[in-house]
Each structure stands twice: as C-alpha cells, then as structure tokens.
C-alpha cells in the first residue's frame, strides 16, 4: 500500500530527521520493501537517502534521524511497479535535480505515460511509477506553470489511485495531491505536515484537515491553500481537533502492540457494550437493516471475516439473510442486481480502505442503494459520507494485524442481531443479554487459560510451514481469521476453510505430521470428530480449539481450551 509523509518548517531544524523517523515508524505497516527520505538542508542542497528494508534496518544504515533541514518528505514502499531495490526506492529526484517527490498507490497507465515522457526526451533511473509521476510534475512546472496548473495537467494524464508529495528548491513550500489514496494535513504550532494516515499526524498535533480526492494542497510552515483540481477552484475544509491522545498510546508493559491489543479486547468489549447500552447509537443501524429489501455486507481482510460471522448472527437470530462479499468482490458479484431499497453495509476499521471506497462511490454515483458504515475511525471518509454509521469504539489501532477491532466488529453484529430480532418480535434462543455482558470476562478468562497451551502449541507449529485451520458453521469465519492472523505474524502458510469442504480435495495434502487445527462448537461435535478422524487416519496432527469435551480430549493431539459458555454464539478464536 505504501506510505508518504511531508513536512515544512519555518527554518532549518537539526532534529528534522528525528521527526521524520517518528512519522515513518507510525507508517511502517504501509511498506517494508524500502524506505527513503529527502530533505532540503537549509542551504538549498537536497539530502536524499534510500535503501531496501524496513524503517529500523534502513535507519540503522542511513541514519535518517541525523538528517537536518527546513523541509522533508519520505516514503515507505510496498512494491508494485519495479522490484524492491535502491533505485526503485522512493523519493525520486527530477531530471534537473532541483525537485524531489514520492507517491503511494498506483499509476495504472504508467507504461504509456512513461513512453510519452521518454518520447519527449525524459530519462528514467528506475522502473517505478513514482518516478514517472515526479518527471511528469517536473515537465509542467519547468514550463513555468503554477502548481495548480501543473497538477491539473497531471490529473488529466494519469489514471489510477494515488497520493503524492513534492517539493522544489526554489520555493519554500510543498505540494500534496490526493487522487484516490488517503491523505491528511496536520497543523502543528511550528510546522505543517501531510501524511497517508491520521496516527502519524496525531504523533505531532491533534489539529488536522481531511483532504478529499481531487484536492491539491499547497503549504508552507504556517499557511496552506486547497485547490480542487476537477472544479478548478479553491475550497475551505474544516479543521478537526482530534480527542485521540496518541502520546499516551504506548505499548508498555507489553513487548509489542499486537499483544497489547489482544489484551485490550477486555476493555474494548466492555466499552462497546457500555456505549450501546447507554445510548441509542445502534438504533439507526437496526432501522436501516429492518427497512431494507436486501442487505449486502462488504469488507476486506479481517473486516470481511467479522461480517461473515455477522451474517450467521443475522440469519440465526433475526431471520435476516445477508449477502456477504469481500470489498473487491462486491461489485463483480452483485452490482448488476443491486436495486433501490437495498442496503449496502461497508465494514472497515479504518473507514478508508480503497476496495470499499470503490463500492461506496459506485453506490453514490448510481444512487441505487443506501449505504451504512460499521467503522472504528469515526473521522474517516466512510464514516462521514455513508447514509448512516455505527461506531465499534475500539479506540486507536496501532498493531498491523487487527485483533481488538475484529472482536468489537463481531460484538457489534451480535448486539445488532439481538436488537433486530427483538424489534421484529422474533423469539430467539441460545443467547441472553446477560450472556452478552459476560463477554469481557470470558475474554479475560480465555487469555489467561490460553497462555501455557498456546506456548506449547506454538513450539510444535513453528516446525511446519503449512497447515489447515478448519471451522464449521459459525466457527468458519473464526478459522479464516485465525489463518490470516498467522500468515501476517508468522509469515507461514495456514489455510482457513470450511471443514466439510476439506474432504473434497484438500484432505489429500495431509500426510504424517501435517497439522490440522479444528475450531469447533460443541453442537457440531459428531461431525467435527469424524473430520478429525479423517486426519488421524493419514497420521496428521490434530489440534482442537474450543470448549473441551470427552470426544475431543480423546482424539486431539493438542488442545487449546476456551471457557464453557453454554451457548453457541460466543465462540472465539
């Protein structure tokens, strides 16, 4: 996905590099292939340093934190055009060496723009589309155009979704264009900065401006102006003062944010229940679901797994069928049949994920269906622009792998399904409000009782580059989410799938010592035991995650027990 950050200060700062490294660390989840930084050193020289690797490795080699200057920009790269290498790393210099810029996102017509520039005499040092964009901006600025005119031309010449930061020797200012990728402007007391995400801005200031697609912002250390490229006019955008206290967001006493946020599920679920119980914040969601002809729910990665589990809750408790999809799949799978009266629910922690933005923009342009967002970031594009919004109240997510936000998304759906059932007068069984309010305590118990068995199991699984994680019924999305988490954290290859499907081919991958993890519900015990036996016959390793029972205890080689809950709705990974 890549990340960019740019900053303009009043005069030379000896700690500019340190400030930029702090921003880069916040953005580090956006790219580990290479990192680069460029500053104007105060005497008009450009100091450009870049190399392959993540921010920790590249900073150790290149000492970004020792860089000085009055302006600087940086990029963290996740390769798309051109392999990870120092030359393909961003930022890129212009041909005249007077300007420098970096982007994130994709210029999808890069090969054609590059060919056109080459035909006009441009020479490229890399294969990267970021360089194409830099040379394109240079082409128009060097013709004497203003930034507004130059970027208008650039917006006509390029296709794709991206954002760019750019600075030049002869002007104490910076340009940043938002053309489909996220971009925020931060207003600090002694500088102005721009970044791909909000947490890296909140690192320095709580005052920020959310930019819109088609915005070009031209800024120095005190002033900024925003020019709308499509409408060719200046606009004012509201300044938001965030109440998020990022300075106090530190991981102590935990080793890293991933484990910290696993523990924060206890407080997070408690906060969500308190908010929903004490307000009618969920009311609009229930009404939107109830009045819709059909409900489509879409999300990416972890958010998709949460909404898939939500689809089970809505069906089982409120008799509401839901059409689930990945964000990128929603339009090819359903667009032709979405009609007036339908509701599209967009599920996203960040509220900025591009695949979902595409669905939102399509729905808005067509005017066919209502949109509703289930989000954590309530200042995000989806939160602000959809017809309705319900927050999941997980506070700031810093860890790259999502954990506490998944749990709160799931809890939000369970809460909504129970409310909807009551609203519709549908009697449901298997869960009570008291059960729901036991969730924070159950999570605490699960964390406590898992410590030792998880350590033992991890030492066994570490030996295996590949494994399957199987779920049945409501544990299917949980298995998929478990597999995604392991891929992201361990970089191995676990495959999450529906356990009944396993025998239709994938079972062939089991041989002696191959691990298969079963996430189970007690009510599916007979079926799951027979699936476990299929693995045992092939001498595979069977792991059971779920409420203990005599059957599972007898068959499984390893067990990760969870507390007995007495109802089928609260099983967790």
Footprint of ligand F6R on this chain (CB under 6 A)? 300-303, 348-350, 353, 356, 401-402, 484, 488
Smallest separation (angstroms) from ligand F6R to the CB of 573:
12
Query: Among residues 301 and 540, whose Cβ is nearest to ligand F6R?
Result: 301
Query: Among residues 78 and 514, whose Cβ is nearest to ligand F6R?
Result: 78
Smallest separation (angstroms) from ligand F6R to the CB of 297:
13
Query: Among residues 94 and 302, whose Cβ is nearest to ligand F6R?
Result: 302
Query: Among residues 396 and 484, whose Cβ is nearest to ligand F6R?
Result: 484
Instruction: Give helix 404-423 / helix 257-278 axis angle, nearest 10°.
Output: 20
**Contact (Cβ atoms closer than 8 angstroms) between residue 269 and residue 408:** yes
Smallest separation (angstroms) from ligand F6R to the CB of 315:
22
Smallest separation (angstroms) from ligand F6R to the CB of 327:
7
List Cα–Cα distances, 566 to 24, 133, 269, 547, 549, in angstroms.
Answer: 47, 59, 19, 10, 13
Smallest separation (angstroms) from ligand F6R to the CB of 358:
12
**Contact (Cβ atoms closer than 8 angstroms) between residue 65 and residue 59:** yes
List, in order, residues 6 or more apart from 398 with CB less than 8 Å away. 199, 249, 251, 257, 261
Query: Among residues 303 and 524, whose Cβ is nearest to ligand F6R?
Result: 303
Smallest separation (angstroms) from ligand F6R to the CB of 381:
11
Cite the DSSP H helix spans in 279-337. Answer: 283-291, 301-318, 327-334
User: CB nearest ligand F6R: which residue?
Assistant: 301
Smallest separation (angstroms) from ligand F6R to the CB of 233:
32
Query: Among residues 133 and 322, whose Cβ is nearest to ligand F6R?
Result: 322
Query: Among residues 157 and 261, whose Cβ is nearest to ligand F6R?
Result: 261
Distance CA 43, CA 61 (A): 25
**Contact (Cβ atoms closer than 8 angstroms) between residue 359 and residue 346:** yes
Classify residue 256 as exposed, middle or buried by CB count within 10 Å of its CB (0-12, 13-18, 19+): exposed
Phi, psi of 160 (to 5 degrees): 120, 180
Query: Among residues 1 and 55, whose Cβ is nearest to ligand F6R?
Result: 1
Q: Which residues pair with 167 in a beta bridge?
A: 100, 174
Give just the sign of the alpha carbon dihedral 310, 316, 317, 322.
Answer: positive
DSSP-derived letter for residue 188 is -
Structure tokens at 177: 């264009």
Smallest separation (angstroms) from ligand F6R to the CB of 374:
9
Distance CA 476, CA 478 (A): 5
Structure tokens at 313: 């809750």
Distance CA 453, CA 517 (A): 14
Query: Among residues 101 and 496, whose Cβ is nearest to ligand F6R?
Result: 496
> Is residue 239 classed as helix, strand or coil in its secondary structure?
strand
Query: Among residues 356 and 420, whose Cβ is nearest to ligand F6R?
Result: 356
CB hemisphere CA count around 463 (13 angstroms): 8
Query: Among residues 88 and 348, whose Cβ is nearest to ligand F6R?
Result: 348
* Closest alpha carbon to 80 in 12, 134, 126: 126
Give just the sign of the alpha carbon dihedral 111, 113, 119, 122.
Answer: negative
Give just the sign of the alpha carbon dihedral 470, 417, 292, 321.
Answer: positive
Question: Taking every pair of C-alpha atoms in the chain, what is the biggest distance, in angstroms?
Answer: 80
Q: Which residues pair with 471 in a beta bridge?
A: 498, 519
410, containing H or E segment: helix 404-423
Query: Among residues 158 and 302, whose Cβ is nearest to ligand F6R?
Result: 302
Smallest separation (angstroms) from ligand F6R to the CB of 244:
16
Query: Among residues 228 and 263, whose Cβ is nearest to ligand F6R?
Result: 263
Smallest separation (angstroms) from ligand F6R to the CB of 295:
19
Smallest separation (angstroms) from ligand F6R to the CB of 268:
15
**Contact (Cβ atoms closer than 8 angstroms) between residue 26 and residue 44:** no
Query: Among residues 75 and 353, whose Cβ is nearest to ligand F6R?
Result: 353
377-398 in b/e form (b: 16+ CB < 10 A) is bebbbbbebbebbbbbbbbbbb
Smallest separation (angstroms) from ligand F6R to the CB of 118:
35
Smallest separation (angstroms) from ligand F6R to the CB of 380:
9
List Cα–Cα distances, 479 to 211, 345, 467, in angstroms.
Answer: 38, 23, 12
Query: Among residues 165 and 486, whose Cβ is nearest to ligand F6R?
Result: 486
Cite the DSSP H helix spans in 92-242. Answer: 110-119, 129-141, 147-157, 198-202
Distance CA 482, CA 488 (A): 10
List, in order, residues 6 or more apart from 231 with CB less than 8 Å away. 214
Smallest separation (angstroms) from ligand F6R to the CB of 136:
29
Smallest separation (angstroms) from ligand F6R to the CB of 396:
13
């Amino acid at each position: 996905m890549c990340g960019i950050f740019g900053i303009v200060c009043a005069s030379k700062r000896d700690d500019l590099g340190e400030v930029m490294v702090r921003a880069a660390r916040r953005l580090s989840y956006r790219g580990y292939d290479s990192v680069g930084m460029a500053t104007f050193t105060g005497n008009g020289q450009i100091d450009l340093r870049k190399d392959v690797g993540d921010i920790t490795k590249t900073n150790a080699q290149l000492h970004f934190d020792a860089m000085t200057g009055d302006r600087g920009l940086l990029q963290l790269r996740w390769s798309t055009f051109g392999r990870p290498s120092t030359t393909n790393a961003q930022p890129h210099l212009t041909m005249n060496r007077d300007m420098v810029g970096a982007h994130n996102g994709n210029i999808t017509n890069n090969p054609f723009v590059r060919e056109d520039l080459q035909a006009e005499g441009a020479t490229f040092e890399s294969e990267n589309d970021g360089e194409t964009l830099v040379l394109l901006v240079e082409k128009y600025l060097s013709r004497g155009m203003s930034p507004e005119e130059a970027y208008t031309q650039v917006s006509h010449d390029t296709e794709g979704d991206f954002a760019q930061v750019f600075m030049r020797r002869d002007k104490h200012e910076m340009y940043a264009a938002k053309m489909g990728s996220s971009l925020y402007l931060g207003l600090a007391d002694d500088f102005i900065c721009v970044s791909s995400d909000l947490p890296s801005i909140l690192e320095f200031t709580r005052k920020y401006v959310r930019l819109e697609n088609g915005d070009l912002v031209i800024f120095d250390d005190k002033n900024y102006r925003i020019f709308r490229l499509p409408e060719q006019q200046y606009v004012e955008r509201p300044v938001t003062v965030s109440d998020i206290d990022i300075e106090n967001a530190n991981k102590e006493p935990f080793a890293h944010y991933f484990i910290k946020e696993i523990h924060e599920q206890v407080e997070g679920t408690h906060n969500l229940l308190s908010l929903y119980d004490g307000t009618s914040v969920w009311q609009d969601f229930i009404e939107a679901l109830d009045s819709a002809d059909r409900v489509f729910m879409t999300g990416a990665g972890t958010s998709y797994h949460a909404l898939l589990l939500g689809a089970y809750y809505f069906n089982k408790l409120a008799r509401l069928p839901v059409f689930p999809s990945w964000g990128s799949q929603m339009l090819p799978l359903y667009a032709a049949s979405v009609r007036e009266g339908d509701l599209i629910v967009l599920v996203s922690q960040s509220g900025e994920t591009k695949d979902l933005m595409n669905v939102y923009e399509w729905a808005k342009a067509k005017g066919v269906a209502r949109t509703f967002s289930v989000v954590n970031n309530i200042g995000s594009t989806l939160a602000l622009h959809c017809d309705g919004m319900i927050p999941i109240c997980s506070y700031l997510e810093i860890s790259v792998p999502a954990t506490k936000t998944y749990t709160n998304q799931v809890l939000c759906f369970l809460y909504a399904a129970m409310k909807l059932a009551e609203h519709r007068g549908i009697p449901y069984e298997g869960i009570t409000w008291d059960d729901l309010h036991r969730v924070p305590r159950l999570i605490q118990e699960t964390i406590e009782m898992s410590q030792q068995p998880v350590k033992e199991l991890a030492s066994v699984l570490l030996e295996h580059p590949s494994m399957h994680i199987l779920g049945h019924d409501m544990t299917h999305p949980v298995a998929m989410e478990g597999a995604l988490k392991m891929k992201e954290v361990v970089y191995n290859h676990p495959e999450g799938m529906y356990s009944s499907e396993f025998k239709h081919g994938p079972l062939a991958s089991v041989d002696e010592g191959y691990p298969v993890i079963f996430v189970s519900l007690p009510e599916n015990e007979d079926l799951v035991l027979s699936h476990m036996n299929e693995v045992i016959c092939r001498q595979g390793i069977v792991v059971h995650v779920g409420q203990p029972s005599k059957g599972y205890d007898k068959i499984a080689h390893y067990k990760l027990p969870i507390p007995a809950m007495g109802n089928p709705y609260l099983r967790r990974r």
